[in-house]
Amino acid sequence: MKREEEIRGIEEEIRRTKYNKATQYHIGRLKAKLARLREEKSAKRTEKGGFSYTIRKSGDATVLLVGFPSVGKSTLLNKITSAESRTGDFEFTTLKVVPGVMEYNSAHIQILDMPGIVSGASAGKGRGKEILSVVRNADLILVMIDRFSQIKIIERELYDSGFRLNEKPPDVIIKKTDRGGIRVSSAVRLTHVDERMVKIVMKERGIHNADVLIREDVTLDRLIDSLCKNRVYVPSLTIFNKMDLLSEEEIKKIRSRTDCIMISSTNGKNIEILKESIWEKLGLMRVYMKKIGKDPDTEKPLIVRKGSRIKNIAERIHKDFGKNLEYARLWGPSARFDGQKVGGEKVLKDGDIVELHMK
């Protein structure tokens, strides 16, 4: 309880303190301490165990449906998968995680319908901690709303739980040393933090000797994130549901103000657009395999991530194939000509056909 009271006290002090040159280092210290206390609280809860949602990942990717109760998540799950999630016009219809599988472009994408998130979930309200623990296994988060006011609340709950939507990890390298204090160097011009701030944050996190290399113009929050072990960087899409209840004027207003995908989970409006967006956001592609002297298998492609190389494909088929690969023959979008001979480092594109040749 003492830690929770300390967290609330720091949060209140940060809210009360006006950010300026005179207070910036004090706020930096408070934010670093707050991140440490939250991380310690989360780790202690994990050690104690207790109730949690456990879902085994399956298929080519795992996507979570996150949102307030009764925004239409269950209806959408039933629309895009073969799952049967209970639906109703009342809150907390879904009391457990309901899985379904969406088949798209030959991929099998696991979709999980999460219990509704409420304000205060990151602090444990409405089993929020247990629900958010499942989010850590996601390849993509679908934030579903039916009012704009919901999006900031959900994003705040996810942020306070350590999730960083549509962000890359901070480009900060920290090498702890035995002596010498904290030595800071940067490959870019820093406009948000300076050497003093870096040292304050490091020491608050218990680091007194280290070489710190900063390779992006980090903000204070991203500097602190670089020191936290419980941060999860995951892509997300925002879905505005119940567009069938909106007027043309409201639809135009939404389109001009946001990049939300507007759908109706009830009548299926824009569902195919949503499926395509999920595929693109996951960064998936299809690679067709061809055995020597035979036609390619166009019925069952390998589903891999964009940027995959020939050697990744070989290792995917068998762990020893990567070691024994001599070369490959290539047909398709990334080949300069049919049957091009390529090495293991060749980057593939969606729709390529690959024939492996082993040593």
Q: Mean pLDDT of residues grouped by 10 in the chain (359 residues)?
A: 84 92 93 90 60 67 89 90 59 63 94 71 49 73 89 86 92 95 96 96 95 97 93 93 87 80 92 96 96 93 96 90 90 96 96 94
Pairing between β-strand 352-358 and β-strand 340-342 as defined by DSSP bridges: unpaired
Q: What is the pLDDT of residue 337?
A: 96
Q: What is the pLDDT of residue 126?
A: 42
**Cβ count near 252 (within 10 Å):** 11
Q: How is residue 22 annotated by DSSP? A: T
Q: What angle do helix axes 148-160 and 128-135 make, rounded to 10 degrees?
A: 80
Pairing between β-strand 340-342 and β-strand 302-305 as defined by DSSP bridges: unpaired
The structural domains of the chain, ordered by start, are 2-50+170-225 (no CATH), 61-167+232-281 (3.40.50.300), 285-358 (3.10.20.30)
Q: What is the pLDDT of residue 174?
A: 96
d(C-alpha 253, C-alpha 353), whole Å: 44
d(C-alpha 102, C-alpha 58), whole Å: 12
**First CA to last CA across the chain, in angstroms?**
63
d(C-alpha 281, C-alpha 289), whole Å: 24
**Cβ count near 160 (within 10 Å):** 17
* Nearby residues of 196 by Cβ (< 8 Å), 6 or more positions away: 25
d(C-alpha 146, C-alpha 69), whole Å: 10
- What are the distances in angstroms from CA 66 to CA 58, 117, 299? 19, 7, 33
User: In sequence order, what are the beta bridge partners of 103?
Assistant: 108
**Cβ count near 91 (within 10 Å):** 12
